[in-house]
Structure 1
Amino acid sequence: MSDQPTSFRRSFGLLDATMIVAGSMIGSGIFLVSADITRNVGSAGWLVLIWIITGLLTLTAALSYGELSGMFPHAGGQYVYLKEAFNRLTGFLFGWSFFTVIQAGSIAAVGVAFAKFSAYMFPVLSEKHIVADLGFMTISAAQLTSILLIVLLTFINTLGVKEGKLIQTGFTLAKIAALLALILFGCFAANKTIWDANWRSGFVLQQMSATGGMTHLSAYAGAGFAALGAIAGSMVGSLFSSDSWNNVTFIAGEIKRPERNIGRSLFLGTLIVTVIYVATNLVYLGVLPLREIAFAENERVGVAAAVKIFGARGTYIIAGLLMVSTFGCNNGLILSGARVCYTMAKDGVFFKQLATLNRNAVPGKALWIQCIWASLLCLSGKYGQLLDYVIFVVLIFYILTIVGIFRLRRRRPELPRPYKAFGYPVLPLMYIISASIICVALLVYKPLYTWPGLCIVLLGIPVYYAVWKKKD
């Protein structure tokens, strides 16, 4: 008889699940995207407000997902919720977008970020160090490092849940502690003159130019629309930096008491990250003039702030922190992402060979196909372009998933709901409206972020009907 396991082992407790949420959220974004946000909004008040709005939206969505996780405590998370609330095609379109763009692109980008910051410590790993020139493409040391990282973490996660869990919990606790230390030292290093100067602009919405000019958005005839476009454009970075909180739902089949612990971990993880992100930006405003935040070299606001706080060694301190941060972040993405491929395969809408667990009770084949695709994206260099499209696609599926709560309450009231969406129906409805406004604004003002992503989603429709059509 075969000793292959046929079901997951419930190995993750509340702390582990919370670390999946927080660890998957915290990557390199918090150290970079505040530059773009500041250029778009031009004031300290709006910089902080963008992060607070992002945090509130994320918390609202996370609290709403708690109800769905209690109803369907199975591997696959959001894919399962969309399939149950709507139909198999809707679930497939999420899984298709998730595999081709959202998760694989994120894994590739975080892997390359790890390599870039490793190059501070070990210059030989720089993206400027070309290892091979194949004529039609070049391969840098940074790309090879990112692929080796992805392969290493994939291999570790094929050994079983225990190994991946230890890395995730350990590295996430380490980077949270390091971020809190950065915030604490930043408070001691804060310069009152810089702080006061930054807050003179208050909550004036304006755009900053590299030449030193300021464009007040109220000067436009359509001031309201211009402001909406600036805010929506600014939130691309903050939303992406706060994304992947839902990864814990993909491993629901491996969490102890999932009907309670998933909802709790979603709340605790997103709250911890939101507080850290807002506090980190307040530190930036205390040590760096607004213009230095907006035009930090290579967008590396975190590096610029660390140099102010720790002196010349700050570059190495922040590089070390980012290596820990991106290592742990990628482990969470790799661990959880393969469960979606596995669940889709079980449903007959993805490669059937992936619908098996290895002897360690993890989806080994799904982990390796995810590894191969993410590695190819690292080599192609196209992950950056894919990630430009991600946040619009992600928001669409978040909106649909929360709409699914309303549909399921009406159509399937008999389902057990050990945890109910906080503030229902007001807060979930507010999220749907707010996220929809951001999507529409992005469609109008940031078409390069939106239409390609929408096309990738829609491409899944002919794929579904041509290859994996199943009767609902």
Structure 2
Amino acid sequence: MEQNGLKREMGLPAALATVMGTVIGGGVFFKVASVTTAAGTANLTLFVWLLGGILTICAGLTVAELATAIPQTGGAIKYVEYTYGKPWAFLLGWAQMLIYFPANVAALSIIFSTQLINLFHLANGLLLPLAILCGTSITLINFLGARVGGALQVITLIFKLIPIVLIVIFGLLTPAPVHFALLPLTAGPQQGLWTAIGGGLLATMFAYDGWLNVGSIAGELRRPQRDLPLAIVLGLALITLIYVVINFVFLRTLPLNALQGNLNAAADAAFQIFGVAGGKLVTIGILISVYGAINGYTLTGMRIPFALAYNDQLPFSQYFRRLTPHTKVPYIAGLFELAVAIVMMLFGSFDLLTDMLVFVIWGFSCLIFVAVFILRRREPELERPYKVPGYPLIPLLALVGGLFILIETLITQPGLALTGIGLTIIGLPLYYWHQHSHV
């Protein structure tokens, strides 16, 4: 199997940092609004954060088997292509370039703008202009070259952890204004238990997003059989612990009705814990964290249409392949991703966009979980430096969890689900038309 010239120099600490850096983004600060709304109670809110973490660990462990068996540049797209063929791989790339990456940029730009308005008491009418300015500025920064975009990512990664650590430590030490029981688990008065769990779980998945890429480091690990599962379990377990604890702090700092539907909940909690001056500093840290998360999706996102065009899989591939003269950045692909993100900003809210991208990407994730079973049967001789522990239980748990998210979304948000499916499926006739026209 192709190794792409990667050097196996990465040990467990570097792998652990990569896993945590890939997954921790802006969602931990802002999804408390929709999770508390869906769950309806404090204890069920904490439960779905824990459940989301367990599901993510199962998913990461499962995908890692494919990452070590198929260590090719392209990650998930290559796993799908190897198992199901090029049309399905194209569909995943198409969904990423049309929905996943632009929706992430749009949703987080809206959040950045919301926090900026809240922090400096600006007019609400500036929400969209500031969101568009945010997304555009990051795209232009990335046009300066991958080195600049990468440097911004390193700097913001450091700032990403500061507000989390401060809120957790000082939030736990501060006397709790709000008290609640952890057991028994109950839903809100207007929700059934399973509906509340399903809605809450879907909402948490945006904060855990990024796990699909954790297996991409497999080709650079010195001991993938030992270090990859350890990095995934330890990294995602630590993230789960962080998410549960920081939400515990939010829930003991502000009453439930002050968290539900409040995208400024993290900032409000910071002001409650640290006072006005400290709250502003922590909120600025949150803004830097969000800006860095947008940069990560921009940096990676513009390279998806470029990669598809490089293989001549898109109409107008000759344009999507174009690079800036000096910095060698795919600027047409970047402008396309920005344009789609701006359209999404105009028509979608933060929760609408994040729920859609979670739904679409988990549809493909379920295909990847199934691929582990298919390849075990179809190619038992395939070299697997790492095998998912607890097979077939762990992959089955990941698959059942993924299907639960998909079915729950189809039942509770059919319009959103069908829109996501529709935008994905239109890539198929486009693929075959383009292939036919180039015969």
TM-score of the pair, normalised by structure 2: 0.85
- Secondary structure at the residue paired with 1:128? helix
Instruction: Report the CA distance shift for 1:438/1:311 in structure 2 as closer, same or farther (over 3 A).
Output: same
State the partner residue of 1:325.
289
Q: Deviations over 1:106-133 (max 9, x none)?
A: 1232234334434456667x66249xxx
Match of 1:151 in 2: 140
Q: Which amino acid aligns with 1:29?
A: G
2:220 is the alignment partner of 1:235 = no
Paired amino acid for 1:381: L
**Aligned mate of 1:438, from 396, 402, 405:** 405
Per the TM alignment, residue 355 of structure 1 is displaced from its structure 2 partner at its CA by 6.1
Alignment of 1:31-42 (within 5 A): 31-42=29-40
- 2:246 is matched with 280
Query: Aligned partners of 2:276 and 2:71: how far apart in 1?
Result: 49
User: Partners of 1:372 and 1:79 in 2: how far apart?
Assistant: 20
TM-score between both structures, scaled by the size of structure 1 = 0.80
Unaligned runs of 5+ in 1: 1-6, 131-138, 207-213, 218-225
Contact 2:100–2:357 under 8 Å retained in 1: yes
Q: 3-state DSSP class of the match of 1:299? A: coil
- Identify the residue that residue 168 of structure 1 maps to in structure 2: 153
Question: 3-state DSSP class of the match of 1:74?
Answer: coil
Query: Which deviates more from structure 2 when the two are superposed, residues 281-290 or residues 255-264?
Result: 255-264
Question: How many correspondences in the alignment?
Answer: 428
CA contact (8 A) 1:71 1:415 kept: yes
Distance 1:301 1:201 in 2: 24
Change (3 A) 1:308 1:182: same
Q: Tell me the percent identity.
A: 26
Q: Which deviates further from its counterpart, 441-450 or 398-407?
A: 441-450
Tell me: CA distance 1:170–1:252, structure 2 relative to 1, closer, same or farther (3 Å).
Answer: farther
1:420 to 363, 368, 387: 387
Q: Where in structure 2 are there 5+ consecutive unaligned residues?
A: none
Instruction: Show the counterpart of 2:167.
Output: 182
1:73-114 Cα shifts (integer Å, max 9, x gaps): 222111110111111111111111110000122123223433
Query: Tell me, what secondary structure is at the counterpart of 1:308?
Result: helix
Contact in 1 for aligned 2:178/2:251 (Cα 8 Å):
yes
Q: CA contact under 8 A between 2:87 and 2:431: conserved in structure 1?
A: yes
- Please tell me whether the aligned partners of residues 82 and 90 of structure 1 are also in contact (alpha carbons under 8 angstroms): yes
For residues 332-372 of structure 1, the C-alpha deviation after alignment (integer angstroms, 9 at most, x for no partner) is 22333344444434444232665688899x9722x651343
1:210 matched residue in structure 2: none
Q: Decide whether the 8 Å contact of 2:33 with 2:263 is kept in 1.
A: yes
Stretch moving more, 236-245 or 17-26: 17-26
The offset of 1:431, in angstroms, is: 1.2
Query: Residues 264, 26 of structure 1: CA spacing in aligned structure 2 closer, same or farther, 3 A cutoff?
Result: same
Q: Structure 2 vs 1, CA of residues 402 and 285 (structure 1 numbering), >3 Å: closer, same or farther? A: same
CA distance in 1, matches of 2:436, 2:60: 31
Give RMSD over aligned pairs. Answer: 3.3
**CA deviation string 1:33-76 (max 9, x = no partner):** 22222222222221101000111111111111111111122221
Partner residue, 1:409: 376
Q: 1:325 to 1:39 in 2, by over 3 A?
A: same
Tell whether the 8 Å contact from 1:120 to 1:316 is kept in structure 2 after alignment.
no
Instruction: Answer yes or no: is the 8 Å Cα contact 2:52–2:208 preserved in 1.
Output: yes
What is the 5 A alignment of 1:104-119? 104-119=102-117
